Structure 1
Amino acid sequence: MSQQIYEKPLLLTYSGGKDSDLTVNLAVKAGIPFEIVHSLTTVDMPETVYHTRQVFAKLEEKGFSCKIIKPTYKNAPVTMWTLIPQKSMPPTRFARYCCSVLKETAGKGRFIATGVRRAESAKRASRESFEIIGSRKQYSVLLSDNEVFMQDNTEKRTMFETCRPKAKRTVNPIIDWTDDDVWDYIAAENINVNPKYRDGYKRVGCVGCPLSSKCNRTREFEEYPTYKRAYIRAFDKMLDVRKAKGLATEWKTGEEVFEWWVNR
């Protein structure tokens, strides 16, 4: 379908997690033409960055095209630390601008494959095999009166998805795989995965992700204090911007913002 519709190979979006490694393995074994891309969020765990480089190096030796995309915002390079002041607010569960800017930019005008699974969600429901995706502001799955943003891993994600405004199609080949399915396959195929799983991490996303639990975020910042300090500095700059714009704020320092952001 990718070759027929776009005249380009399937584009695998790679996060550095186990589901991405499994999806790449399936694509290699299937013998299909594909390219692979990783969006550098700038807040990934260092181990995820190193693992991605190692995986890409081995794939490139086999002739596969691999690309790491550095984020931009308003046509300029950006990091989480420079994005927060520009947005004048911390990223939250309900305002996840970090995902749309740092993570979800790859694959415009392409047919992409992801490692999204419904089992990563707290709930699970039966959905249609095909869904049409449209959005007024950003990508979303529209089914009846339900809506879910494309960066969500929920029961509303499906095997095939189409974003009409961006001419972007998505296939989620392991959408119905359970955690046991994933780990059994990884063991059977002897797939090398992110070392953070050996440290007890169940997911290896961005450090401090608002979607993660308070317990997980606290552990991450204890393990990566440099990231904590970077967030606090970014929040300090954010407060300066808010003051310059005349925006009201209940915080006085970046540390106060950080404490609210993680604990409340």
Structure 2
Amino acid sequence: MNKDKVQIAIERLQQFEPKDGHGYYVAISGGKDSDVIAKLVEMAGVKYELHHNHTTADAPQTVRYIREQYPTCIIEYPQKSLWQLIGEQGVPPTRLMRYCCKELKEHGGEGRTKVLGVRWQESSGRKNNRKMIELCYKNATTTINPIVDWRESEVWEFHREYELPHNPLYDLGYKRVGCIGCPQKGTKAMLEDFNRFPKYKVMYLEAFKKMLEVRKKKGLETSWTTPEEVFNWWINL
């Protein structure tokens, strides 16, 4: 592992440590990058709290992993579950309509200084739009991304060198940890999710059923007649 990159990440955390007495709001997802930032804030000797947004569509392994490996982590539960949101929105979440992320993942720590495990290598969108330091004047939040310039190989090298635990989903072949059935994964990975976690397919179908009932009550035009039709359309987008 590149010692300079580790030291730079530590120095970033030390340099921007909030002086308000609250410490960092460290958001962890249960993925490999989260493990790294949790270790780095410890190594930096800064004040912090770990927080995890429970999405209601997390894999059971992820829920257990957070609770077992990070017992002091504050788990934030949403006001509405993904299944409720689908009914209210009247359409399943898609790659272009990611209301689920906005409502279930991308919140918390307003008015605080947050630490995230965002990395440029993860996507072109993050490479083009994310920075090491981000300011949001709307909710008075500062975000620090201390490993934004790390490559995936360096993340795993850090895991090995510091003997960090990792989410057991990686041992099942998962490359990224996220919600079961996330449209960002694509059709093949979504089907693999539902083969491994069939109960989640049942929950999506039940949510689609309620969604169709809401659309009917509102008089919204739709070509879907059954939850299965919605599911087949959704998974093949």
TM-score using structure 2 length: 0.91
User: In 1, distance between residues paired with 2:37 and 2:107?
Assistant: 19
User: In 1, distance between residues paired with 2:77 and 2:145?
Assistant: 24
Match of 1:258 in 2: 231
User: In 2, distance between residues paired with 1:161 and 1:192?
Assistant: 29
Match of 2:39 in 1: 25
SS class of match (2:209):
helix
Match of 1:234 in 2: 207
Matched, 1:68 2:83: no
> 8 Å contact 1:38–1:69 — kept in the other structure?
yes
> 8 Å contact 1:88–1:242 — kept in the other structure?
yes
> 8 Å contact 1:2–1:110 — kept in the other structure?
no
User: In 1, distance between residues paired with 2:113 and 2:85?
Assistant: 28
Match of 1:137 in 2: none
Matches within 5 A, 1:12-161: 12-57=26-71, 60=72, 66-72=73-79, 78-121=80-123, 123=124, 153-161=126-134
User: In 1, distance between residues paired with 2:224 and 2:127?
Assistant: 33
Question: How far did residue 153 of structure 1 move?
Answer: 4.0
User: In 2, distance between residues paired with 1:184 and 1:116?
Assistant: 17
Taking every aligned residue pair, what percent have the same amino acid on both sides? 43
User: In 1, distance between residues paired with 2:236 and 2:94?
Assistant: 12
User: In 2, distance between residues paired with 1:158 and 1:210?
Assistant: 25
User: In 1, distance between residues paired with 2:126 and 2:164?
Assistant: 23
Encode CA deviations 1:126-152: one digit per residue, 9 max, x unaligned. Answer: xxxxxxxxxxxxxxxxxxxxxxxxxx6
SS class of match (2:176):
coil
SS class of match (1:44):
coil
Match of 2:13 in 1: none
> 8 Å contact 1:235–1:257 — kept in the other structure?
yes
Match of 2:186 in 1: 213
Match of 1:172 in 2: 145
Unaligned runs of 5+ in 1: 61-65, 73-77, 124-151
* 1:103 partner letter: K
Question: How far did residue 3 of structure 1 move?
Answer: 2.5
Encode CA deviations 1:103-134: one digit per residue, 9 max, x unaligned. Answer: 1121111110000111111x3xxxxxxxxxxx
User: In 1, distance between residues paired with 2:31 and 2:229?
Assistant: 32
Q: Where in structure 1 do 4 or more consecutive aligned residues deviate above 3 Å?
A: 152-155
Aligned length: 222
* 1:69 partner letter: E
**Please, what is the CA RMSD of the aligned residues?**
1.2
User: In 2, distance between residues paired with 1:181 and 1:56?
Assistant: 22
Question: How far did residue 168 of structure 1 move?
Answer: 0.8
Instruction: Give the alignment partner of residue 11 of structure 1, picking from 25, 50, 63.
Output: 25
Question: How far did residue 154 of structure 1 move?
Answer: 4.3
* 1:106 partner letter: G
Instruction: Give the alignment partner of residue 244 of structure 1, picking from 217, 221, 224.
Output: 217
> 8 Å contact 2:17–2:46 — kept in the other structure?
no
SS class of match (2:129):
coil
Higher strand fraction (1 or 2): 1
TM-score using structure 1 length: 0.81
SS class of match (2:104):
helix
User: In 2, distance between residues paired with 1:25 and 1:207?
Assistant: 26
